[in-house]
Amino acid sequence: MKNKCKVISCKHQVKGAKTLSECPAEFRPVVGVDGPLVAKIPVVLAEPEVQINVEALIPLPERALEIKRILKDLTITQCKLVPSGRFVGNDRIYKLFLEGCVRKNIEYATVESHPRNKYRISGDIKHTTVNVPFECVVEIPLDPDILVFREPRFFSERIDFISKSGLSRDPSEVVLRNRADFQEKPFCEIVDAEVVELDIQEDGGYWVQGEKTFRKLREKMVIHVAFKILQTQQVNIPGNNNG
């Protein structure tokens, strides 16, 4: 019996393809400066996990038979820490303003009717990409000794000099002093994120070959996102006590 399997040719399919060999490497020991010293490094202030509930109505460009796949990516566009002026115990309460969006790529099956065959429906697989925005405010309690975040204060101090006669002040001479304290702004880094959603088909009622289609997708999402709140601070690093 002859072998009917065809030999697959790799020619003229991909240009410029190479098979790369593995390069050997030697690892040097990681060497750092021993203390005592002062370093300016990011310090972790808190690591909260936030739950955000979002509902969105997404219209599709055309009628769909079913959703095949939805790919999701979460992006944080704003993470601002603002003092609230309130204390709970020894902790100062801050408000974290969060904004972001969930980028969703929705793949769906379209419908083309076939009047001559009532048992058959065909169509193309298409996709649409949308950004679903969200925003919320999270209450963050922080130890005042951990966060270096003093509100900038500007001073305008007026000193009146006494005239030479010593009897009255000299209004033509005024000393002004302005001072501002500057600190590094806290920032955020995403640790992990999870999106759980319920998709509800709406704007239905249009039937093709006995199959119901829809034009809108209502999504109810529960977003769990964990992130770190950090601030670049000067940190004292002690020396090696073990010699």
Nearest CA to 82 out of 147, 35, 129 is that of 147
For 18, phi then psi, to 5°, come to -135, 150
Nearest CA to 94 out of 43, 144, 141 is that of 141
Residues in the chain: 243
pTM value is 0.70
Nearest CA to 111 out of 95, 129, 125 is that of 125
Lowest mean pLDDT among 111-115, 155-159, 162-166: 155-159
| Domain map (residue ranges) of the chain | 37-148+185-237
pLDDT in tens, 12-21: 566 777 888 9
- On whether the CB atoms of residues 138 and 227 are closer than 8 A, the answer is no
**pLDDT band at residue 153, thresholds of 50, 70 and 90?**
very low
Residue 169 has pLDDT above 60, yes or no: no
pLDDT at 160: 42
- On whether the CB atoms of residues 105 and 132 are closer than 8 A, the answer is no
